[in-house]
Amino acid sequence: MNKQPTIILASGSPRRSALLKQIDIDFQVIPSTVHEDFNIDLKPIDFVKHYAKLKAIDVAQSNQESLIIGADTVVVLDGEIIGKPKDENDSKTILRKLSDRTHQVITGMALIWHQKDIDIIFHTETNVTFQKITDEQIQYYIDNYNPLDKAGSYGIQDWFAVCVNKIDGCYFNVMGFPLSKFYKHYLRILEELK
């Protein structure tokens, strides 16, 4: 829409790339080498903001002249972060816990551009309500998809969609990239540069 700066997505997530493409933004991908430590003592919102920033800074160090996007997404139930499942059994345990309940998906996002002294950090929270999921369905999902790779052990953009009764908030945030909130900040950055 406006002439855009060089943008780097500091995330290897193909879903995040797909979402950023969806809104006509050109970018490169340079995944950060930062890994979350789930033993760190931070509340979920502070956790995702902390890691979004670390990831962006990690890539910004050698890319001072680009706008870096760092993002971190977690699934939260009863105030506790649910990470990626350790194994198939853990995946079953997580999905049974989430069944018939509402949990939160929280993404932290950092927009860092050293050269222009831009340093923005924000978070977005979406409520996701699952219907009752049977053990047979959980087994089907584990056998046919790869929940071990996913925060909260599910992907809303695959078969698991049938288990999602409703969401309240930004849908794209559930996929790891809160598009409208990001875009508001992005337009503000373009405005400042004019």
Contact residues toward a second copy (CB under 8 A) are 1, 19, 22-24, 131, 136-137, 140, 144, 156-159, 161-172, 179-180, 182-184
Choice between 22 and 64, CB closer to a second copy: 22
Choice between 2 and 61, CB closer to a second copy: 2
Q: Are 84 and 149 in contact (CB under 8 A)?
A: yes
* Least separation in angstroms between CB 154 and a second copy: 13
Choice between 106 and 170, CB closer to a second copy: 170
CA–CA separation, 44 and 41 (whole Å) = 9
* Least separation in angstroms between CB 144 and a second copy: 7
182: amino acid identity, one letter: F
Q: Count CB neighbours of 106 within 10 A.
A: 24
Burial class (CB in 10 A: 0-12, 13-18, 19+), 1: exposed
DSSP symbols for 34-65 = ----TTS---HHHHHHHHHHHHHHHHHTT-TT
Choice between 61 and 134, CB closer to a second copy: 134
* Least separation in angstroms between CB 137 and a second copy: 7
* Least separation in angstroms between CB 162 and a second copy: 4
Q: Count CB neighbours of 15 within 10 A.
A: 17
Tell me the catalytic residues. Answer: 72
